Amino acid sequence: MSARILDGEAFASQIHRETASRVTALAQRGITPRLVFIRVGEDPASRAYVSRKETRAKEVGISSHTMVLPESTPLATLLREIDTLNADPKVHGILIQSPLPAGLPNDQVYARVSPAKDVDGFHPVNFGKLLLGDPTGFLPCTPAGILEILRLGKIPTKGKHAVVVGRGQIVGRPLAVLLARKSAHADCTVTLAHSSTPNLPSITRQADILIGALGRPHFLTPDHVQPGATVIDVGVNRIADASNPRGYRLVGDVDFASVQTIAGAITPNPGGVGPMTIALLLSNTLRAAETTLS
């Protein structure tokens, strides 16, 4: 058996088309959604990620700009820049590109972004709305993108056992909450596990839907997977590769080649969750712009 591929690129294209259509309608009312990225330092991966997001934004008609600050930027300076963007009515979305340099506290920086412009969904107000099931908040893009993969991939979720491996604030914890919510494309029984969970394979093998989001290369193997399960791979990990000009290659948390033979459906990596994260970011930005009309 070979698993059905859940093609994140194809799913993201569907969402981009919907976003582009709504952007066009909004433009007819005199508003162009604008998204500003703040990148601190010259991390190569961050440069590549922001470039990819800018390209997709342009394709759907969203205006974007990247503010690049030196790695030595003091916290007070960064917060002032965020305050300026918060006060600019022409800016609808603000994204702080991670990772931030050492010495810049993530929580304090993310919390400085106005909740109304927090299109990444990291502000405490938006996280609280997620927990309360308040639809006026912005959902974090990767968990929301995973729900869209399940919806567009026609994966049954109601009453299914979902196991999320990884308890991080960006993916694992919010995803567990979203999967458990009583809604059309969730309503799961959820187990939130992690790398220190005793007898982890005995738990993950119970999963109808298994999500790897712990940041360890090829951590989830066939021993962790129930035959026929849906497997979602969130991880982005560097491993050494002398054959690659960069000296490394990117792999997921799932050992794709071996797990593909026993899973029922699986996301590729790359080409799975990543494109959906960008699609939901741009969708959130559009919604932020639309709310200025109300």
From the candidates 97, 118, 129, 255, give the one annotated as an active-site residue.
Answer: 97
Strand extents, DSSP E, the chain: 4-5, 34-40, 63-69, 93-96, 161-165, 189-193, 209-212, 230-233, 237-240, 248-251, 265-266
Bridge partners for 95 per DSSP: 37
Bridge partners for 101 per DSSP: none
Pick from 128, 144, 145: nearest CA to 136: 128
- Whether the CB-CB separation of 196 and 215 falls below 8 Å is answered with no
Let me know if 117 is a catalytic residue.
no
User: Residue 283: in which H helix or E strand, if any?
Assistant: helix 273-290
Let me know if 120 is a catalytic residue.
yes
Task: Report, in this order, helix, strand and coil percent for the chain, each rounded to 5.
Answer: 40, 15, 40
From the candidates 14, 28, 43, 53, give the one annotated as an active-site residue.
Answer: 53
With the C-alpha atoms ordered 122, 48, 256, 249, is the resulting torsion angle positive or negative?
negative
Q: Tell me the C-alpha distance between 179 and 38, whole Å.
A: 30
Q: Tell me the Cα Rg of the chain.
A: 19
Q: Tell me the C-alpha distance between 195 and 191, whole Å.
A: 13
Q: Tell me the C-alpha distance between 252 and 140, whole Å.
A: 20
Let me know if 14 is a catalytic residue.
no
From the candidates 118, 120, 208, 253, give the one annotated as an active-site residue.
Answer: 120
Q: Tell me the C-alpha distance between 43 and 10, whole Å.
A: 29
Catalytic residue numbers read 53, 97, 120
